[in-house]
Amino acid sequence: MKHFNNILYVLDEHTHQSSVSLLRAIALAKSNQADLTLLQILPDIATFIHPYDHGCISDETLPIKMLHREKEKLQTLIASLEVDFSPKAEQKTGKSYIEIIRLVQAQNFDLVIKEIDDIDWLDRLLGSDDMHLLRKCPCPVWLMKKDADPKYKHIMAAVDLTDTPDTANDELNTEILEFACSLSLADFTTLHVVNAYDVPQAGFISLWAEQPDMVKDELFAAEGRQKQHKIKTLMDDLKSRIGTESYEYLSPQTHISQGPPGREIPKLANELNADLVVMGTIARTGIAGVVIGNTAENVLPQLRCSILAIKPKGFVSPVS
């Protein structure tokens, strides 16, 4: 099972002591006996200070006053929390995703939790600071919908059942399932393990066959059988790792969908009423990466639920 040691929660201007995402971060830290840090990120208004320009802010002490006032608000928030441990406080100024990643690197956080509004989810995610964070943060990022239920009912783990042996991919699938299992057990949720597959060459091959539709169907059926075998192997491995009792308690449901993953995974999330999708992000290990990978890039903006995105081992953030 996945164990957390050092959790970073990113506040925004709307965070309060009853925010569902904050309460979940506190509960997660408590159950894991992990350190919890609350990060407050403010705009760097010093760049707007021009003492000789009457059209701009002229009070050079304003940034200091602002930082002091916001730090007091942060300390008041922490004092208001009914917890038996003391969350730490951090205050930064600058670009949100850059400051988050730098702090992750400096203090070795193993999970970032950030709330995001449901309003204009798609527009906000595409090209936003949140997408930069998903692309470039070296540790898992959990983006929580603001209006999410306090307790999840359905958690969906999207795994990659590649056709060729791939140690990095196997490790990523293991990470995805460990996260999903831990959270499912904590919330007593239904766990869904899903995969979607396509056979891009089927159309071309069938063009040269006497019965193209039959050939195409056979190619998809063969691929489907292979995926069923692979997901069974993955579940058998999961059972051996977490134990028969935990596995039977979780009783994960498997789903394999025929079609492009970029279309089918969001569709499955919607059909299963997923509260959270746990999925990997693909990047070449050991190399500074900024690209998530075609599947994840297509899937993430379409999801209407919370997201937990996990990097492969060895990922190096381009942010320094």
- pTM, whole model, 2 decimals? 0.85
pLDDT band for position 132 (50/70/90)? confident
Among 7-11, 78-82, 176-180, where is mean pLDDT lowest? 78-82
Q: Which residues of 11-40 are buried (b: 16+ CB within 10 A; e: fewer)?
A: beeebeeebbbbebbbebbeebebbbbbbb
pLDDT for 238 equals 96
Tell me how many degrees the CA angle 144-41-149 measures, rounded to the nearest 5.
15
Q: Rounded distance, CA 224 to CA 153, Å?
A: 28
Domains of the chain, CATH where assigned = 1-49+61-150 (3.40.50.620), 152-320 (3.40.50.12370)
Quick one: the chain helix, strand, coil %, rounded to 5?
Answer: 45, 20, 35
pLDDT band for position 53 (50/70/90)? low
pLDDT band for position 131 (50/70/90)? confident
Does position 291 have pLDDT exceeding 50, yes or no? no
Q: Is the dihedral of CA 291, 138, 263, 209 positive or negative?
A: positive
pLDDT for 214 equals 67
pLDDT for 176 equals 95
Among 10-24, 119-133, 138-152, where is mean pLDDT lowest? 119-133
